[in-house]
Chains A and B, each alone.
Chain A
Amino acid sequence: MKMYVAETEKSVKNIVVDDMILTTDMPTSAGSRMLDGYMSLFEAQAVTKLKEAGYTVYAKANTGEFNLDLLGETSYYGAVEADGKLTTAAAQAVKTGETMAAVTLEVNGSGARAAALSGLVYVKPTYGTVSRFGTIPAVCSGETVSVTAADAATAKEVLWAIKGHDDKDGTSLPQEKCVADEVKEIKKVAIAKSLAAGEDAAKLEAVKAKLTAQGVEVVEIDAGELLLAKPAWNILMSAELCNNVSKYDGVKYGYRTPNYTDLDQLYTNSRTEAFGYLTKSTVLFGSETLSEANYYKVYDKAQRIRRVISEYLMKTFGEFDAVLGLVSSKSEYTLAQAQENKYIAYDESLYIAPAMITGIPVVVTGGVQLMGAPLTEAALLALAETL
């Protein structure tokens, strides 16, 4: 299940990081044959901060290729199944108690989905509060280093260990914002009907009941605007990924095909042989969306939608302390389902897209997600602790 184990003694505070987070004592492959066995010269800021706080980063969890997929099914190293159900290596390591927490790079929702389906607590903090230095770039405008743990208190402890301003990341927020942990009491929560349809609707009802019992007012809102997030996110994701993986050409590092007689063949065959179908599709789609003919028709529109959704959410958070929704349409997935529907990750990003595209914090608990205004992850986690 897990790919690499560092040559360190396990301690009481063991952390697993995923295959998008660079370490210098274990290879980092982004779940891709392209980076099979790639050893970085430097480690991620998140890893440095974990070590400084006394955690042991002892193993690296397998991911889907560039973390674009549903639940790790596109990994070059194989998918992870538990009781016949698809899950991620990171979530499984937490679920089995092998690690106290997993630190992963959330790109397209696989971290949130795995936590929801495994009954774990997950937090994707506000964009810019954890440095992305030393993470393999996939979708830089949204991807965020996130934490999965068995309970909210542990998730918070580990998240606060990796938060902080970093001069090596130009999108890093000022220190006081990064570590803001003011907990405003959550009194009013909205259920976004646009994100409430799915097999796990019962989980939503359960959380609603618990909240109501605590005296939290729960109101249903349409939130149809949030449905725009998915297509916009798909466009931005493909555009950025296409650009970010262009540099993997088999020349300086990474996989190189043995089948070539000239430079063009070296590039083409290396990429053809090393990238999986989802990466290839995403590259083609992204290349098309960024082309001169389509930029204003497609990419630029997606950026405008990003702003519209941001404005809508900020308005909503003026009225509600959190917005509740599902994380996936089904309550479980098999490997066969994921392989059958090759673009299932594009479809299922419906639920996580609003948070990915705007950078707002998300906490997953009880199989559902709580979205909050920027920098309210402490409040969301505090609420999650009571659920």
Chain B
Amino acid sequence: MKYETVIGLEVHVELATKSKIFCSCSAEFGAEQNDHVCPACSGMPGMLPIVNKRVVDLGMTAGMMLNCDINRVTTFDKKSYYYPDLPNAYQTTQWFSPICVNGRVDIETSKGPKSIRIKQIHMEEDAGKLVHDDWTDTTLVDFNRTSVPLIEIVSQPDISSAEEAIAYLERLRDLLRFAKVSDCRWEQGSMRCDVNLSIRPEGSDVLGVRTEMKNMNSLSAITRAIKYEIARHTRALETGCEELVQETRRWDDNEGKSYAMRNKETAGDYRYFPDPNIMPVVIDDEWLDRIEKSLPELPEVKRARYIDEMGLSEYDADILASSRALCDVFEDALAVCGNAKETANWIITECMQVLNKKKMTADMLAISGTSLGQLIKLVMEDKVSRPNAKRILAAMFENDIPDVEAYAKQSGFIVSNDTSFIENIVKEVIAADPKSVADFKGGKEKALMALFGKCMKQLKGNANPQVLREILIAEINKI
């Protein structure tokens, strides 16, 4: 018999907010253990939750990026369970009225385009982290992650293969990163995925027995886990070698196997109920409009515009449109300097070079696009030489330079238009190197380059190469 696979994904994404969801602790990743902790997020009695409005902003943004309806009155609920990483013994989440419902994500696979429906997106707090120490056989708790804001994106069971699951997850990641909802880093756990999977005879409209694999944290592991589970379910149905039960399973990526964790009978009853300490969040038209206006153009729309309207190559447009940070710097710089091709070159070549050196990704490009535009303009107007412009660019990565021309002047990076000054330097260089002059006159073109280089060095790069070259030849000819 032929079987078809039915997959629904629950994706957790940590939101890119400065502070936690219900207190003012920093939500930043990577701090010393238990540094970002206060009485509220460590569950001391007497603290009350105050909703971080930025979380609601980003929840709405995610919903709009995924074509969802926004619930205008959205509430927070308590989900009770015991676990040492959960200091309140309940997680505040959205159960009865999540912020977004009924969305859609369009994907493209080898089988063509397909739409995956989104059931809902809800906001919630993350739990802390247990750190196991095998050496001393102890487990310690790090509460830094406790109450870091998350959204959970729940898809409908519309996915039918590992390939579709990956296409969906990649598209989700692109959209959310583009809208600055999250940095979506699998390796830091800011994007995690639960896979719900069942199989059924092809064409059947009855769902098979579903198993859930929790906390998957890489695309390759998800692919392997889905393939393994499909094989396991198929074998079970065909041979009867094992009875499929509705259960939560743990995927062991090293062994390439899944293991039963808990089944329906032992599953927790989370005793959800509305959190009486958090008033319903009412989203008015003004708030909705503000978020709608802040939405970015979709990456593919930007790409097309860069090619069609700005004349960039597909290669350049692909690179720029791969990251919201690059697009932002590009568009801001372009607005100042007006030359798309030149701006693209500066970002793709020069900026990327600095980023690579600093071992940073494109998303981490944080220089001011306006400043870059000013710099490009100065180069285009021959006011700053390219080598000096690169030095200024490097300085921009360290400090914000709001007035690039003033900075260039102050640092002695302005090209000299004073030809008599250049002539004097040229004369000095020629006088000090009669051998190169003779070589050039004897037909060695390379000797001119040596003299040119020495002059440029004396001028600290502040000369128009064309002008310098002309003066140099003129002076040599005078001899």
Interface residues of A (CB under 8 A from B): 22, 30, 35, 38, 40-42, 44, 132-137, 140-141, 167-171, 239-240, 242-243, 246-247, 249, 251-253, 263, 267, 287, 290-292, 295, 299
CB proximity of A136 to chain B, nearest CB, Å = 5
CB proximity of B434 to chain A, nearest CB, Å = 81
- From 15 to 44 in chain B, residues with beta carbon under 8 angstroms from any chain A beta carbon are 39, 42-44
Name, among A35, A246, A251, the residue most crowded by chain B CB atoms within 10 Å (CB to CB). Answer: A246
Q: How many A-B residue pairs have CB under 8 A?
A: 88
A243-B271, A253-B44, A299-B273 given; 8 more Cβ-contact pairs under 8 Å = A41-B39, A42-B47, A132-B48, A137-B45, A170-B49, A252-B42, A252-B43, A290-B271
For A290, list chain B residues within 8 Å (CB).
Answer: 80, 271-273
Contact assessment for B50 and A249 in the assembled complex, using a CB-CB cutoff below 8 Å: no
Contact assessment for A170 and B80 in the assembled complex, using a CB-CB cutoff below 8 Å: no
B278 interface residue per 8 A CB criterion: yes
Contact assessment for B80 and A133 in the assembled complex, using a CB-CB cutoff below 8 Å: no
Q: A246-B80, A246-B82, A246-B90 are in contact. Are A239 and B273 (CB under 8 A)?
A: yes
Q: A133-B48, A243-B80 are in contact. Are A171 and B273 (CB under 8 A)?
A: no
Contact assessment for B46 and A44 in the assembled complex, using a CB-CB cutoff below 8 Å: yes
Query: Which of B89, B269, B278 is in CB contact (< 8 Å) with A247?
Result: B89
Contact assessment for B273 and A42 in the assembled complex, using a CB-CB cutoff below 8 Å: no
- From 252 to 283 in chain B, residues with beta carbon under 8 angstroms from any chain A beta carbon are 269-273, 276-279
Closest A residue, CB atoms, query B38: A41
B88 interface residue per 8 A CB criterion: yes
Q: A246-B80, A290-B271, A292-B269 are in contact. Are A140 and B276 (CB under 8 A)?
A: yes
- From 43 to 79 in chain B, residues with beta carbon under 8 angstroms from any chain A beta carbon are 43-51, 78
Q: What are the 5 tightest A-B residue pairs by CB atom distance, in nearest-first order?
A: A141-B276, A246-B89, A290-B271, A247-B89, A140-B276
B208 interface residue per 8 A CB criterion: no
A287 to B272, CA, bound (A): 10
Q: A42-B46, A249-B89, A299-B273 are in contact. Are A170 and B82 (CB under 8 A)?
A: no
Contact assessment for B46 and A22 in the assembled complex, using a CB-CB cutoff below 8 Å: yes
A251 to B43, CA, bound (A): 12
- From 187 to 234 in chain B, residues with beta carbon under 8 angstroms from any chain A beta carbon are none
A332 to B90, CA, bound (A): 40
For B270, list chain A residues within 8 Å (CB).
Answer: 292
B84 interface residue per 8 A CB criterion: yes
Contact assessment for B48 and A168 in the assembled complex, using a CB-CB cutoff below 8 Å: yes
What mask results when residues 296 to 327 of chain B are scored 1 for a CB within 8 Å of chain A, else 0? 00000000000000000000000000000000
Name, among A44, A136, A249, the residue most crowded by chain B CB atoms within 10 Å (CB to CB). Answer: A249
CB proximity of A37 to chain B, nearest CB, Å = 14
For B273, list chain A residues within 8 Å (CB).
Answer: 239-240, 243, 290, 295, 299
Contact assessment for A263 and B84 in the assembled complex, using a CB-CB cutoff below 8 Å: yes
CB proximity of A373 to chain B, nearest CB, Å = 21
For B51, list chain A residues within 8 Å (CB).
Answer: 170
Name, among B42, B88, B277, the residue most crowded by chain A CB atoms within 10 Å (CB to CB). Answer: B277
23 CB-based A-B contacts, threshold 8 Å: A22-B45, A38-B45, A41-B39, A41-B44, A132-B48, A136-B46, A137-B46, A169-B277, A170-B50, A171-B279, A243-B78, A243-B80, A243-B89, A243-B271, A243-B273, A247-B88, A253-B44, A263-B84, A287-B271, A290-B80, A290-B271, A290-B272, A291-B271
